[in-house]
Amino acid sequence: MIDRYFIELNFIWIGVAVITFLALIIFKIRAPYGRHANEKWGKMIANHWGWFWMELPALLLFPLLTIFGPRDKDLLTWILVGMWSLHYFNRTVIFPFRLRTRGKKMPLTIVFSALFFNSVNGFLNGYWLGFLAPKDGPISMLVIGGAVLFFIGMYINMGTDNRLIALRKQQSGYQIPRGWLFRYISCPNHFGEIIEWTGFAIAAWSIPAATFAIWTFCNLAPRALNHHEWYREQFSDYPKERKAFIPKIW
């Protein structure tokens, strides 16, 4: 019975993702953090601490539920815990404090929304892997392929972050990023993160992992489009052939 309710919860969460995606696209909502930050959404918190607190639940919940759950731990379990923890340790502990956004803030509304989002995703994936998942067999080509895709996405995501941070170091304020994948798309970081969690879903081959991959796309695709439109509004010489986040497509 718990399994049935758990699966239904995942489908409800996917439905929320689709509704969120449609709302963000149709109404062109720009979530007010990063370059789109403003005080209209209420009280603000320092940017780097906002990132830390809103990513922390994902960093903690998934590994803890998986490790302390009663399900026997196999090699795939530890691979998935390692992949997840590697990503979220960077996003929670390293990335926020590397940002060169002195004095920049984000609304607490965004922090609490993201905290809830990461708590749900961390719970769904951790509870599945720690309590409900069937025992896995030997490591398959599906797992290997998914892991490779995950690390390709991570390389793109972190590589983009490094280049954007270095660009801010050269000159304060926003500039047009050039070279590397920026030749083709405005947001390689979002493209990379979508690839990451698609790879994770393939490696895990579970409904919660697929749910998270769907949510990643539904959340980051509109965000990438917002960034792309913002660049075009701010810079008259912005490359016209550059797409938002999928080369030559979107």
In this predicted model, what pLDDT tens digit does every residue of 148-205 receive, in sequence order?
A: 999 999 999 999 999 999 988 877 778 999 999 999 999 999 999 999 999 999 999 9
pLDDT, residue 14, reads: 98
State the chain's mean pLDDT as an integer: 93
Confidence of residue 1 (pLDDT cuts 50, 70, 90): low
Q: What does the alpha-carbon distance between residue 46 and residue 164 come to, in Å, rounded to a whole number?
A: 19
- Looking at beta carbons, which pairs linking 133-140 to residues 24 or more positions away fall under 8 Å? 133/71, 133/206, 135/72, 135/74, 136/74, 136/75, 136/76, 136/77, 139/75, 139/76, 139/79
- Cβ(243)–Cβ(185) below 8 Å: yes
Confidence of residue 139 (pLDDT cuts 50, 70, 90): confident
pLDDT, residue 45, reads: 93
**Residue from 119, 82, 111 nearest 203 by CA:** 82
Query: What pTM was estimated for this model as a whole?
Result: 0.95
Domain residue ranges of the chain, discontinuous segments joined by +: 2-234
Q: What does the alpha-carbon distance between residue 165 and residue 147 come to, in Å, rounded to a whole number?
A: 27
Q: Which amino acid is at 159?
A: G
- Cβ(36)–Cβ(99) below 8 Å: no
